[in-house]
Each structure stands twice: as structure tokens, then as C-alpha cells.
């Protein structure tokens, strides 16, 4: 079923989810809404000091004749002060090699194309003091990312820092993704898992890149929190030992 959540009415005895497909009554809920996590959390949690800022990341793919140039993962040394790793090369299990991604501000929550623009979303981003602070702090880096977004030559130059033998004819524009970057009002980046709790609801408000490899640990943590928060009877010890 695909439906948009329009409201959450939480209480100690039951929590009601209102959606475009009708209402759902449950004991408690765990939300994990990705790009929309701050919007969904705001339905029950008045704390709006953390906002999701969408960043678009584009990839190029190496052609068949150039894939031998990358036989493993080729990554830059990460900058601990900057959340985005920068262009790197990834050899996938199907043999394809992806180069990227860059990181540029998306003008819509699901703005997978450069032409996708949501005026209200852009206004909300520019009006958020946290974004203005981080934009001024990383102005030079942001402009460089924008240049690589529009220029294949600039993107190629970033690739050639690690694999100089790659040529322009070796790369083809590939897939695009959106990163949900959580940002505080003071301009600091939320680079760790961030879960908030209100009556009847657990909100997963930020799940950064390690969420894929840490999924089982995250699931255990959320399950144990839910058992305690929602007072689920008879569940003690379910997630211990070999159970």
C-alpha cells in the first residue's frame, strides 16, 4: 500500500496514523521517513531545531573498456570537518564501476533532476539559519561541487586525481541519488544516528551512511526502545542471547 501520512495522533493507550488511505490504529509507531523525517517528526515532536537538507549526488559510470582501471574501491582520505566524501570510484558486484558522487543542493526533497524545483522548499531551506551558516562556511567547496555538476570536464578532473588514465570518452552520465543531510540551527551537521521519542512514537530522524552495515544493530536498538517505550508486555529477553 502506498499512502501519504497526513497526521499522527499519539496517546498512551493508542496511536492513530492518519493517511490518504485511511486511519491505522496501533500501540505505537516507529517512523523512519528519510528525506521527510523532519516533516513526519514535527507531527508529534515540537523540536524543529534539526532540519533535513536534500543534497543531490550524481555518478558517472566507466565504460566496459575502462573498467579494468578500477579493480577495487578507490576512496579519498576523508575530511573529518566535511560530511561528504567527494568523488570516489566503486567497483560493484556486477562488474560496473561508478565514479562519484558529487554533492550539490537539491531544489526539491526528491529533486533527482537539475530541473526539479520546489519553490516552497527552496524558500524553507534559505530561511533556515543552519543552512545559511553552513553555506557560508563551505562556500568555496560548494561552488566547486556546482562546477563539477554542470561540467563533465570538471567531474573528469576529479576522477583523474585517483585514476589518471580515465579519459572523457570512458565515462557516461549515470544514476543520481539524494542524500538527506540533517542540519542543526547553529549550522552544525548531524553526522550520527539521531532518534527522538514522544508518547507512542519513536522518530528515526537521521540515519547516516553506516545505516546499511549497521542495520541489525539499529534494529535491535529500536526494538528494545520500543519494548520499553510502548510497554509491550511479555517481551523482556526477546532480543537477548540466541533468541
Question: Tell me: the pLDDT tens digits for 217-226?
Answer: 889 999 999 9
**CB pairs under 8 A, 24+ apart, for 71-78?**
74/162, 74/163, 76/161, 76/162
Tens of pLDDT, residue by residue over 29-65, are 999 999 999 999 999 988 888 999 999 999 999 999 9
Per DSSP, what are the bridge partners of residue 62?
171
Half-sphere exposure of 177 (CA within 13 A, CB side): 12
Percent of the chain residues past pLDDT 90, beyond the cut: 65
The string of pLDDT tens digits covering residues 105-161 is 999 999 999 999 999 999 999 999 999 998 898 888 788 888 888 899 999 999 999
pLDDT for residue 97 is more than 50: yes
Residue with cell 553552513: 134
Strands (E), 146-227: 171-184, 194-198, 201-206
Distance of alpha carbon 91 from alpha carbon 78, whole angstroms? 19
Domains and CATH numbers, the chain: 5-49+194-229 (no CATH), 52-184 (3.30.9)
Model confidence at 234, pLDDT cuts 50, 70, 90, reads low
Closest by alpha carbon to 226, among 204, 205, 207, 201?
201
Task: Please say whether the dihedral angle defined by the alpha carbons of residues 80, 215, 87 and 113, taken in this order, is positive or negative.
Answer: negative
What pLDDT, on a 0 to 100 scale, did the predictor assign at position 241? 38
Asked if residues 57 and 176 have their Cβ atoms less than 8 Å apart, the reply is yes
Higher pLDDT, 22 or 142: 22
* CA–CA dist 82, 38 (Å, integer): 22
* Residue among 224, 214, 205, 232 nearest 42 (CA): 205
Percent of the residues in the chain that have a pLDDT greater than 70, as a whole number: 94
Per DSSP, the three-state class of 17 is: strand
Amino acid at each position: 500500500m502506498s499512502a501519504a501520512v497526513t497526521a499522527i495522533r499519539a496517546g498512551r493507550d493508542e496511536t492513530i496514523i492518519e493517511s490518504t488511505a485511511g486511519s491505522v490504529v496501533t500501540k505505537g509507531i516507529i517512523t523512519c521517513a528519510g528525506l521527510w523525517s523532519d516533516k513526519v517528526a514535527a507531527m508529534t515532536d515540537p523540536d524543529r531545531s534539526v532540519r533535513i537538507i536534500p543534497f543531490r549526488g550524481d555518478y558517472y559510470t566507466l565504460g566496459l573498456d575502462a573498467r579494468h582501471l578500477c579493480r577495487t574501491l578507490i576512496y579519498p582520505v576523508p575530511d573529518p570537518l566535511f560530511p561528504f566524501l567527494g568523488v570516489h570510484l566503486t567497483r560493484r558486484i556486477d562488474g560496473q564501476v561508478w565514479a562519484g558522487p558529487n554533492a550539490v543542493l537539491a531544489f526539491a526533497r526528491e529533486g533527482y533532476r537539475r530541473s526539479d524545483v520546489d519553490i516552497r522548499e527552496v524558500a524553507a531551506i534559505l530561511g533556515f539559519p543552519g543552512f545559511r551558516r553552513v553555506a557560508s562556511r563551505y562556500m568555496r567547496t560548494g561552488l566547486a561541487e556546482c562546477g563539477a555538476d554542470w561540467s563533465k570536464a570538471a567531474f573528469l578532473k576529479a576522477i583523474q586525481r585517483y585514476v589518471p588514465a580515465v579519459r572523457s570518452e570512458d565515462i557516461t552520465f549515470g544514476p543520481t541519488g539524494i542524500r538527506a543531510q540533517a542540519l542543526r540551527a547553529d549550522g552544525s551537521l548531524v553526522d550520527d544516528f539521531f532518534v527522538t521519542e514522544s508518547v507512542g512514537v519513536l522518530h528515526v530522524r537521521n540515519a547516516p551512511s553506516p545505516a546499511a552495515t549497521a542495520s541489525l544493530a539499529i534494529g535491535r536498538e529500536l526494538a528494545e526502545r520500543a519494548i520499553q517505550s510502548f510497554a509491550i508486555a511479555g517481551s523482556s529477553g526477546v532480543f537477548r542471547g540466541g533468541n
